[in-house]
Amino acid sequence: MTQDELKKAVGWAALKYVQPGTIVGVGTGSTAAHFIDALGSIRHQIDGAVSSSEASTQKLKSLGIPVLDLNEVDSLAIYVDGADEINGAMQMIKGGGAALTREKIIAAVADRFICIADASKQVDVLGKFPLPVEVIPMARSFVARELVKLGGLPEYRQQVVTDNGNIILDVHNLSILDAVALEKAINALPGVVTVGLFATRGADIALIGSPDGVKTIER
Ligand code: 5RP
**What's the pLDDT score for residue 14?**
98
Residue 41 vs residues 36, 99, 122: alpha-carbon distances, Å:
9, 25, 29
**What's the pLDDT score for residue 132?**
98
- pLDDT interval class at 118 (50, 70, 90): very high
The set of catalytic residues is: 103
Mean pLDDT across 72-88: 97
Mean pLDDT across 87-108: 98
Mean pLDDT across 137-164: 98
Alpha carbon nearest to ligand 1 atom 1, residue: 97
**What's the pLDDT score for residue 49?**
98
Alpha carbon nearest to ligand 1 atom 6, residue: 96
DSSP designation for 173: S
131 close to ligand 1 (CB < 6 Angstrom):
no
Q: pLDDT per residue over 60-70, tens digit each?
A: 999 999 999 99
DSSP designation for 14: G
Most informative mutation of 10, 94, 160, 195 for ligand 1 (most atoms within 8 A of CB): 94
Mean pLDDT across 124-130: 98
> b/e map of 52-78 (b: 16 or more CB within 10 Å)?
bbebbbebbeeeebebeeeeebeebeb
Alpha helices, DSSP H only, in the chain?
3-13, 30-40, 54-62, 100-109, 140-149, 179-187
84 close to ligand 1 (CB < 6 Angstrom):
yes
**What's the pLDDT score for residue 154?**
98
Concatenated DSSP letters for 71-98?
Answer: GG-S-EEEEEE--SEE-TTS-EE--TTS
**What's the pLDDT score for residue 167?**
98
**What's the pLDDT score for residue 111?**
98
Q: What single letter denotes the amino acid at residue 37? A: D
85 close to ligand 1 (CB < 6 Angstrom):
no
pTM of the entire structure? 0.97
Beta carbons within 10 angstroms of residue 128's beta carbon? 16
Which is nearest to 104 in space by CA: 113, 59, 96, 74?
113
**What's the pLDDT score for residue 105?**
98
100 close to ligand 1 (CB < 6 Angstrom):
yes
Q: What single letter denotes the amino acid at residue 174? A: L
Mean pLDDT of the chain: 98
Rg (C-alpha) for the chain, rounded Å, is 17
Cα of 167 to ligand 1 centre, how many Å? 17
